[in-house]
Structure 1
Amino acid sequence: MADNENADGALTGLDKAAILLLSLTEQDAASIIRHLEPKQVQRVGQAMTTMNDLSQERVAAVHSAFIEEIQQYTSIGMGSEDFVRNALVAALGEDKANNLVDQITSGGASRGLEALKWMDPRQVASIILNEHPQIQTIVLSYLEPEQSAEILTQFAERDALDLVMRIATLEEVQPAALKELNEIMEKQFAGQSGAQAAKIGGLKAAADIMNYMDKTMEAALMEQIEQNDEEMASQIQDLMFVFDNLADVDDRGIQAILRDVPQEALQKALKGAEEGLREKIFANMSSRAAEMLRDDLEAMGPIRVADVEGAQKEILSVARRLADSGEIMLGGGGADEFL
Structure 2
Amino acid sequence: MALTRSKNDTDNKSSRLAAQKGGSDNDSLTGTDKVAALLLALNKESGTLLLKELEESEVRQITLAISQLSNIDADEIDHILTEFASQLLRSGAVIGGANSAEKLLTSYLAPEKVANIMEEVRGPAGRNMWEKLSNVQEQVLANYLRNEYPQTIAVVLSRISPDHAARVLALLPEETSFDVVNRMLRLGSVQKDVLDKIEQTLRLEFMATFAHTRRRDAYEQMAEVFNSFDRQTEARFMSFLEDESRDDAERIRSLMFTFDDLVRLDNSSVQTLLQRIDKDKLPIALKGAKPPMRDLFFDNMSERAAKQLLEDMEVMGPVRLKEVDAAQADLVTVAKDLASSGEIVINKNNSDDELIY
> TM tier, shorter chain?
0.3 to 0.5
TM-score normalised by the chain length of structure 1? 0.34
- What TM-score results when the alignment is normalised by the length of structure 2? 0.32
Larger Rg, first or second structure (1 or 2)? 2
Could you say which structure has the higher helix fraction?
2
